[in-house]
Amino acid sequence: MKNYLVSETRSGFKTLTYRDQEEGRDIRLHSAYDPVKEAQRSVSGFSRGRSSVLLVSGLALGYHLEHLALSGDIDILVIERDPEVVEICSQVNPGILKKIMIITSASEIESYFDRLDMSGFKGISHYTHRPSYQIDPEFYDSITGNISRHVSSRVSDLLTRFEFEERWIRNIFRNLKHLAYAEGVGRFFGKFKGYPGIIVSAGPSLKKNISELENLRNRALIVAVDTAYKVLSRHNITPHFVVTLDAQKYSSKHFLGAPANDTVLVADIVSCPSILNSYSGRKVMSTTSKYFTDEQGHTRRETTPVMDWVEKFTGHFGDIQSGGSVATSVFDMLLNFGCDPIILIGQDLAYTGREIHCTGTYHNDDWLPGINRLKNLECINQGVIRKRKIKYVPGYGGDNPVITDFVFDLYKSWFEDSSRRVSVDVINATEGGAAIENTRELSLSRSVPGEKTGKSPDMIISEIFRGSGRLDISPLKAALSSTMAEIDKLIKAFEDNVNNPVEEAVTMVESENLSPLFRPLLRKINIYLVRRNIEGSKGENMLLEEIKGAAFKLKAYISESGLC
């Protein structure tokens, strides 16, 4: 039996004692004499530096938080293991709860970071309320570790946007023409209820069960990530779908040399245009979006830059949520398709056998010319692994620990968390690599039930393509033409040297039509100006130059679409 005792102190303030009758110990969470002065002394030696988020382990009665809150404009995020403590604090010191956000479980972390504006983020500092921490160090360490991973992920997302956002936007415009004859991925949602869905990734263990796939085509929906597509082709295996979402040109190598077949290409709207242009089979288009709950409890959608603008004229053609890799996107796609169970193969998330990928990927093809009598594929794999920050995690089936790295571990956490949240059965049939919590480990042959009656996956796919679900992109063509005229007007304003060029330019790019197109291209400069506190004429001139550059880029992108 565990409980808490609230009592008066000599100074007139209340204190809190944790009573653990099982272990026969009492832990005072505050001083028995003057808890306020004690908190003041403890906080006085703490510095949050330049951080914009303060993480506090332990709530108790919140005296330490009152002093921490004096340190300026900062978000205070409090980890507290016991909801009973939150209730007691709300009665004794209710004012402090209005200034903080409390997390009592790992499931609450994501909602906070979904709402966090990373544009002004300057890091996270950590204060530990030692008496609270002493009660359950493992809980506080676990939540702190989860928060660190979320911060790393959000920072990584922001850096990725900075690096790739312009490429995404250009690729979107270059891929718009495919919307006229490709299907939207949303047309397949709910069409495969009762069918197992197999995600084929290109981990080293794929070679253990790849030969079984072809016999499962009529009983399960087989979806390959792009890295695994060439491997399957070399084994004469035709997956029902292959999914690609990388915007970079090298991703086209996953398809080089793979023969034309009945596999349907599912391409994110930001995918490398050369893949969509050269793929001779049937095509499906998707867009990556993220759904989260805001502070008012409403579901919000955050989609790829400029897609809100595009969808005003095309309508939604299907969202897929992603955890950062193609395999995580396929996982969400199969959930939307209605597949149950979802089966993972080739999902090592580790350097099984000190290999990076299954033999047959384009990576191996690129390495082959460099092989000689002094350097073989094993040496090349080892050289790549040595450059990574590795760690050891439990292996599949309780085997010895396997080598993984930070990125693989992030994806592993994503699959573990997603498998815990979904209602469908998730089976890890990789038969190697890292163990993935919250999944069942089974061989591939035992994961798929016997003969299935009714339509085969191929029949369902063909029926959808024979239907009349194509998008009408004529409104989009008209919008592109009128937008091009607006951009020409903006460029002319620059050339005419109007009296207030910044005011004129900002007014034009903040119009209802242009704002969704210019906003992502100006994101980096706006964040830079805020973080560096650059104001006045210097800031205005920097912003004006970025607006000029963005105008010429957008004009070029719209021209490359070939739709106006």
Percent of the chain with pLDDT over 90: 50
pLDDT category, 211, cuts 50, 70, 90? very high
**pLDDT mean across residues, the chain:** 86
Query: Coil, strand or helix: which one is 428?
Result: strand
pLDDT at 336 over 50: yes
Percent of the chain with pLDDT over 70: 88
- Report which secondary-structure segment, H or E, holds 275: helix 273-278
- List helix spans (H) across 63-108: 63-68, 83-92, 94-97
- CATH 3.40.50 range(s) for the chain read 2-135
Amino acid at 394: P
Amino acid at 151: V
Tell me the range of 41-45, 152-156, 373-377 where mean pLDDT is highest.
41-45
Q: What is the mean pLDDT of residues 304-313?
A: 93
CB proximity list for 13: less than 8 A, separation 6 or greater: 34, 35, 36, 63
How far is it, in rounded angstroms, from Cα 63 to Cα 66?
A: 5
Question: Does residue 85 contact residue 57 with C-beta atoms inside 8 Å?
Answer: no
pLDDT at 475 over 80: yes
What pLDDT, on the 0 to 100 scale, is given for residue 522? Answer: 87
Count of C-beta atoms within a 10 Å radius of residue 242: 32
Q: What is the mean pLDDT of residues 155-179?
A: 85
Count of C-beta atoms within a 10 Å radius of residue 77: 20
How far is it, in rounded angstroms, from Cα 551 to Cα 545?
A: 10
Q: In the sheet where 25-28 sits, what is the strand order?
A: 2-8, 14-20, 25-28
Query: Coil, strand or helix: which one is 78?
Result: strand
What pLDDT, on the 0 to 100 scale, is given for residue 173? Answer: 97
Q: What is the pTM of this model?
A: 0.76
Class of domain 2-135 (CATH, top level): alpha beta
pLDDT at 502 over 80: no
Q: What is the mean pLDDT of residues 378-391?
A: 61
- Encode pLDDT of 10-27 as tens digits: 888 999 999 876 777 788
- Encode pLDDT of 177-210 as tens digits: 999 999 999 999 999 998 999 999 999 999 999 9
Question: Does residue 390 contact residue 408 with C-beta atoms inside 8 Å?
Answer: no
pLDDT at 159 over 80: no
Tell me the range of 79-83, 91-95, 187-191 where mean pLDDT is highest.
187-191
How far is it, in rounded angstroms, from Cα 322 to Cα 328?
A: 5
pLDDT category, 119, cuts 50, 70, 90? low
What pLDDT, on the 0 to 100 scale, is given for residue 146? Answer: 84
What pLDDT, on the 0 to 100 scale, is given for residue 1? Answer: 40
What pLDDT, on the 0 to 100 scale, is given for residue 366? Answer: 57
Q: Which of 306, 294, 404, 419 is nearest to 354 (CA)?
A: 404
pLDDT at 228 over 90: yes
